[in-house]
Amino acid sequence: MSPEAAASAMGPETAWRPSPAAWLSGWRLATFVIAALILTPIGIVFSAFLSPASDVWNHLVATTLPRLLINTFWLVLGVGAGAVLLGVTLAWLTAVCEFPGRRIFSWALLLPLAIPAYVTAFVVVSLFDFTGPVQTWLRSVLPPAWFWFPPVRGRLGVTLVMVLAFYPYVYLLARNAFMSQGRRTLEAAQSLGLNRVQGFFRVTLPMARPWIASGAMLALMETLADFGTVAVFNYDTFTTAIYKAWFGLFSLPAASQLASLLVLIAFVLLLGEQRSRSRRRFAETRPGAPTDRIQLQGLHRWLAFSLAALVLFAGFLLPLGQLLFWAAALVAQEFDERYLEFLWHSLFLSATAALLTGATALMLAYASRLHQDAATRLAVRIATLGYALPGAVLAVGIFIPVLWLDTWLTGLARRLVDLEAGLLLQDTLAAMLIAYVARFLAVGHGPIDSAMHRITRSIDEAARSLGVSGAAMLRRIHIPMLRGGLLTALALVFVDVMKEMPITLMMRPFGWETLAVRIFELTSEGEWERAALPAVTLVAAGLIPIILLLRPTEQDREG
């Protein structure tokens, strides 16, 4: 069979090829390279087990590992349960019920996403720790015998902060599910004799389960990947252990062995997330008539209001207010040339990473548009799995091969031109940028890919039948239609990189500090007030994606 016939054997959909044949292998090759970019660090961290166990590793297994596992177990369980409970409850209240302030809460409850978890963490610790204002005040008004306060820097504190920071993932997806179910299915249940409460538990909730599961998995991925929050609470998990093994015990092998265990846990979450994602397709329904909302009565109205208000206050208003208060007090002192340097570093890194990621995502989107074969599809899926890999894992898994490459290059330089060169890549931004692209490619790929899907095959064909093809089609059709998705992708990646902590901390060139690194350094010294100014800057940037997220929500409300 000729290649033509072989291609067309897969049917009319796959036989469609709008671009000259010469490009085909190029797009596909690029996709495979990007997929390799994700697979390499995973392979690297696992290969650490091939080398004989080091003393450091044996020491870690004996002393730290059990605690890490137990800590991670309780954290994942606590954050998962808390985020689902809070997220689903709030989503149901704002999507299906009517209570005072519902319209505002329905978007405002997403605001905690704008504050990085480690920022909420240090505000909470500073306020509620033994020396903080809350406990100090309680001690002054209560007799000593009555005084009791739960330990803030323990399991409870870190879990609560993460629930407050990550419940919006569940909230967002569950709310979409509840809104898109419309009224028909519930009416069908009612016509079969269920009341509204039974209908909720037997129809609404089961139908929304795949969305809720997806949200929970995303929240848990963030939990696993988190470095800054657990660092503030001194609550050891794998990410902090990796950092300590690398920068405290100077053992990269031990760090990568820890990283490989973390990857295993992340894979379990990833499997769950992918499963729920594919189930979502089956449970998808057309949005029906707008729901006629349940009018909460009497006490219930105010309970709903109080819950939403409390969450909004604790997750957003309180930390932001405290930060603004501190920042205002110290702005004259802290806003100096050094601060501008951190800011510049953050902006530069974020912008560069956003552009690189955007370009890579665009390449993937074009590749999957041009090739619908199984190999390309698989490669695109692998390439966009980086969101499940904690930054600490990527840092280790990319740093090690860069180190090898560097040693090889300097050796080569020495042999070839007798040049005594320092390490070339290790101390540059290149390795760090690669890690960012790997981590945030999925974030950038989503909006670009969905914009690409809007350029249907008949759009291309319409342009060609009107005599427009090649570069003119790119200029007149593709670029304008992709612009929105591309800008969204750039904004999302920009903000994510700005807030990113572990990769930046572990891979930055010596002395290269960003706002996030600065916050880490100040909070590990307990200098909460001074960390406020960089934190406020990050929150301001973090509001951008929330605004982008809110646009479809506005439409939902009108529709």
Partner 1 sequence: MTFMNAEPTVPADPKAAAQATATVPLQLNNVSHAYGDHIVLQDLSFQLRQGQIGCLLGPSGCGKTTVLRCVAGFERLRQGEIWLAGQRVSSPDFHAPPEQRRIGVVFQDYALFPHLTVADNVGFGLHRLNRRARAARVAELLQTVGLEHSAALYPHQLSGGQQQRVALARALAPRPDLLLLDEPFSNLDVDLRERLGLEVREILKSQHATALLITHDQHEAFAIADEIGIMMAGRIQQWDTPYHLYHQPANRFVADFVGQGVLVEGQVLNSRWVEIELGALSGDIPSECAQGCASCGRGCSVEVLLRPDDVVHDDGSPLRAEVIHKAFRGADILYTLRLPSGQRVLSLAPSHHNHALGEPIGIRLEADHVVAFRKDRDEVSNAKAR
Q: Please report, as ranges, the residues that interact with partner 1 according to CB under 8 A.
A: 1, 4-5, 8-12, 15-16, 454, 456, 458-459, 461-469, 472, 476-477, 480-481
Amino acid at 360: T
Cβ 553 to partner 1 shortest distance, Å? 19
Q: Is 5 or 62 the residue whose CB approaches partner 1 more closely?
A: 5
Q: Is 77 or 474 the residue whose CB approaches partner 1 more closely?
A: 474
Q: What are phi and psi of 521, to 5 degrees?
A: -65, -45
Q: Give the distance from CA 114 to its chain's centroid.
A: 12
Cβ 465 to partner 1 shortest distance, Å? 4
Tell me the sheet residues that pair with 98.
Answer: 295
Burial profile 365-399: b = 16 or more Cβ within 10 angstroms, e = fewer: bbbbbbbeeeebeebbebbbbbbbbbbbbbbbbbb
d(CA 520, CA 530): 11
Backbone φ/ψ region at 467: left (φ over 0), alpha (ψ -120 to 50), beta? left
Q: Is 17 or 196 the residue whose CB approaches partner 1 more closely?
A: 17
Cβ 458 to partner 1 shortest distance, Å? 4
Cβ 11 to partner 1 shortest distance, Å? 6
Helices (H), 335-456: 337-370, 374-383, 391-417, 430-454
Q: What are phi and psi of 64, to 5 degrees?
A: -95, -40
- How many CB atoms neighbour CB 557 within 10 A? 12
Cβ 467 to partner 1 shortest distance, Å? 5
Q: Is 84 or 489 the residue whose CB approaches partner 1 more closely?
A: 489
Q: Is 485 or 542 the residue whose CB approaches partner 1 more closely?
A: 485
Q: Is 144 or 467 the residue whose CB approaches partner 1 more closely?
A: 467
Cβ 4 to partner 1 shortest distance, Å? 7
Q: What is the 3-state secondary structure (H, E, C) of 106-133?
A: HHHCCHHHHCCHHHHHHHHHHHHCCCCH
Cβ 545 to partner 1 shortest distance, Å? 23
d(CA 329, CA 339): 16
Cβ 558 to partner 1 shortest distance, Å? 14
Q: Is 480 or 509 the residue whose CB approaches partner 1 more closely?
A: 480
Q: Is 29 or 462 the residue whose CB approaches partner 1 more closely?
A: 462
Non-local CB neighbours of 491 within 8 Å, separated by 6+ positions? 354, 544, 545, 548
For residue 122, the number of C-alpha atoms closer than 13 Å in the C-beta half-sphere is 28
Cβ 374 to partner 1 shortest distance, Å? 17
Q: Is 20 or 511 the residue whose CB approaches partner 1 more closely?
A: 20
Radius of gyration of the chain (CA): 26
Instruction: Give how far Cα 491 sits from Cα of 415, 494, 548, Å.
Output: 45, 5, 9
